[in-house]
Chain A
Amino acid sequence: MAKLDGKVALVTGGTSGIGEGAVRRLVADGAKVVFTGSNETAAKRVADETGAVFQRSAVEDPAAWEALSAFIRERFGRLDIAFANAGIEGGDGSVENIGIEGWNRILAVNLTGVMLTCQAAVRLMRETAGGEGSIIINSSMSAYKPMGNFVGYSTTKGALIALTKSVAIHCANQGTKIRCNSIHPGVVETAMISGIIEGNPDPAAARAAYEGMAPLNRMGRVEEIAALVAFLASDETAFITGSEYSIDGGSTAGMMGV
């Protein structure tokens, strides 16, 4: 028996990258998975290949959460796992040049969207799963190493640490067994990053630059992040809540020597 047999999981932003990897891993471990996103072509491919169910839904839209929660309730009858993964960085910039529209859009998706994901998940877990469940929030190593030219992204990823702990403490104080933890990936070789590398005039140099960001001297693979998500989703981690797990090839451990 796979370790997530009988569980139902929600993955936001599941049509590509780490989200897609998580959909595949959670399905492989036995969960029934519903995933959201906006790219319907990519969604169809993931759904066809995994048997996971796609629902077009925007994480920053409260009304969409009501519809999605109703869908999960009717279609699956329960929710045990939520991976709050959806995030954007488009429209970002430095503190000197970011526009207010870009800033507001990033906060809406990366922060408000994750809060709404947690809100819907906690409500569904209390209502349908006996007050048990695991919420995993995809932050970033940027929470610890903010980037000067991504002020919106870095700020929201940092805020997710406090959001995670607040949700974890609330759920514990309420006597539920709903856990909430954040993960902090380093640079991961998603299709988006691969595209940036291939589009560079000197792809080899661009690749080396990305790889060199981690002491392990490589990028993380989507499957490696998905493995941590699946672990935190499982009953193996029943005592883990309010924690921040770095998965970055040593990037935030300190400084490399000379």
Chain B
Amino acid sequence: MKRLEGRVALVTGGLRGIGEAVAARLAEEGASVMVADLDASDGGRLGGNMAYVRLDVGDESQWQAAVTAVRARFGRLDILVANAGIGGTGPIREVTLEDWHKTMRVNLDGVFLATKHCADLMAESGRDHPGGASIVNISSIMGLVGLATAGPYNASKGAVRLLTKANALEFAQAKLPIRVNSVHPGFVETPLLVNSSPQEAIDFYHAGTPMGRMAQPSEIASVVAFLASDDASFMTGSELVVDGGWTAQ
């Protein structure tokens, strides 16, 4: 039997990059996956045990609709991967309040709303597994260390790290069967990052990483799948760094 057979996952930002790899990996391990993303133009890539729901993660009313859709379609929710994120860089004196709020809305509000609206259904579903239900929040190494001119992004990802720990403790204390952990990827070779970065930045991502390369999205997905499974049943409130040694140097 596959490790995630019979489980239902919701992956935000699931049509591209890390989210796409996560959705594919969870499905490969037997889970039914609700892919949430802004637009369905890439929806042709959805596999057999996947469904799509349109979701702007910063919009609370859309979250209520998304969870209703998950309940209607699958009847349960065992795994939540809060992956949707956007950039947020620039010299701090030039960052507009509007840009700041835009980054926080997706990267931080999106994780808060995900947890808030999925927790009830996950608490029900989590009783069926020894390891409970599992929330995996995708933070970043930029949630651990600063980077010049990445203030908004750093702040949003650092906030996700501690929101994760507070929620892990809260659910444990309330005896709700939901584990909460964060994943901190280094530089990942996603189309979004590669296409938006000048060559000198790409060179920096490779050369600055002790392992001398960027990560493949599948290398982040494998960690998410581990955290989603009962193999990680004693892990909650943990931060899993996947960065080729970046933060160790």
Contact = CB atoms under 8 A, between A and B. Distances in A.
Interface of A: 164-165, 168-169, 172-173, 175, 177, 186, 214-217, 220-221, 224-225, 227-228, 230-231, 236-250, 252-257
A98 B164 CA distance: 38
Contact of B169 (A165, A228, A255): A255
B190 interface: no
B230 to A, nearest CB: 8
Contacts of B186: 239
Chain B contact surface mostly: mixed
B165 A243 contact: no
Contact of B236 (A175, A249, A256): A249
Nearest to A216: B172
B139 to A, nearest CB: 14
* Residue of B169, B222, B245 with most chain A CB atoms under a 10 A cut-off: B245
A172 B186 CA distance: 15
Nearest to A225: B234
Interface stretch (B45-53, B54-62, B209-217): B209-217
Contacts of B175: 217
B234 A247 contact: yes
Contacts of B247: 242
B212 A250 contact: no
B241 interface: yes
A228 B245 contact: no
10 contacts: A168-B245, A172-B244, A215-B168, A228-B235, A239-B186, A240-B223, A241-B245, A242-B210, A242-B249, A247-B235
Contacts of B222: 236-237
Interface string B197-235: 000000000000011100110010011001000011111
